[in-house]
Amino acid sequence: MKILKLALFLAVVAGLSGAALSSVYEMTDPVIQEAKIASEKENLVKIYTSGEEFKAVETNLSDYPALQAVYEASSGGSVKGYVYKCSVTGYGGASTPIVYLIALDKDGTYKGYEVIDASGETNGFGSKVKDQPFKDGIVGKNIGDSIDTISGATISSSAVVDGIEQATQHYEENFK
C-alpha cells in the first residue's frame, strides 16, 4: 500500500512538471523560431525582395546531407517558393564549408542564389562561386536544367551544384 502511495506521489510530481514544461514550451517556441529566422533574414530578403514573409519548414533532412534548413516564402497567404540553406564541402575542406541559399520558385525556376560564406575557397578560383556569371548560370533556369560548373574551379562549383541538386530533389519530393 505504501509503495503505491509513493509511486502515485512521484507520478503526480512528474505530471505537474510535464504540464509546466509544456506551457513554457508553448510560450517560448514561437520566439525561438522567430529568432532562428531573424538571423537568416538579411540573406533571405536578397532573394525575395518584395516583403514576403518567411517561415521555417519542419522537415526531415537526414537524407540530404547538404541541406541545413528550409524556409517557405509567402506573401498574402500564398506560397511563393522555398529557400534552402545548403552547406557543402568545397576546396576549403569540411572545416570551412561553402554556405549558400538557393531558392526554388513555385513556378519551377531557380529564383535566387546567395552565397553566405565561401571563405575557404581560393581567391580568384573557387571564390568564383560567389560571382555574377556563375549566379547568372543558375538564376532563372528551370528546375531540372543542368547547371554549368566553372572550369578552373571545378571542386568548388560542382560541390555547389551538388547541393542545388539535393535541394531540387527535396523540393520535388515534398512540395511539388
**Where along the sequence are the contacts to other proteins (CB under 8 A)?**
5-6, 9-10, 13-14, 17, 20-21, 24-25, 28-29, 31-32, 35, 39
The grid coordinates listed for 176 are: 511539388
Largest CA distance in the chain: 79
Q: How far is the CB of 9 from other proteins (least distance, A)?
A: 6
Q: How far is the CB of 19 from other proteins (least distance, A)?
A: 10
Q: How far is the CB of 60 from other proteins (least distance, A)?
A: 22
Q: Look-up: residue for cell 514561437?
A: 30
* Closer residue to other proteins (CB): 9 or 41: 9
Q: Using alpha carbons only, how large is the chain's radius of gyration in Å?
A: 21
Reduce the DSSP state of residue 165 to 3 states and report it. helix
The answer for residues whose C-beta is within 8 angstroms of residue 100's C-beta and 6 or more apart is 85, 86, 113, 114, 115, 116, 117, 118, 129, 160, 163
Question: Cα dist. 88→5, 6, 12, 77, 83 in Å?
Answer: 56, 54, 48, 32, 16
Q: Is 133 exposed, middle or buried (0-12, 13-18, 19+ CB in 10 A)?
A: exposed
* Closer residue to other proteins (CB): 39 or 151: 39
157/62 Cα distance (integer angstroms): 23
Q: How far is the CB of 94 from other proteins (least distance, A)?
A: 21
* Closer residue to other proteins (CB): 6 or 51: 6
Q: How far is the CB of 95 from other proteins (least distance, A)?
A: 18
* Closer residue to other proteins (CB): 2 or 176: 2
* Closer residue to other proteins (CB): 12 or 63: 12
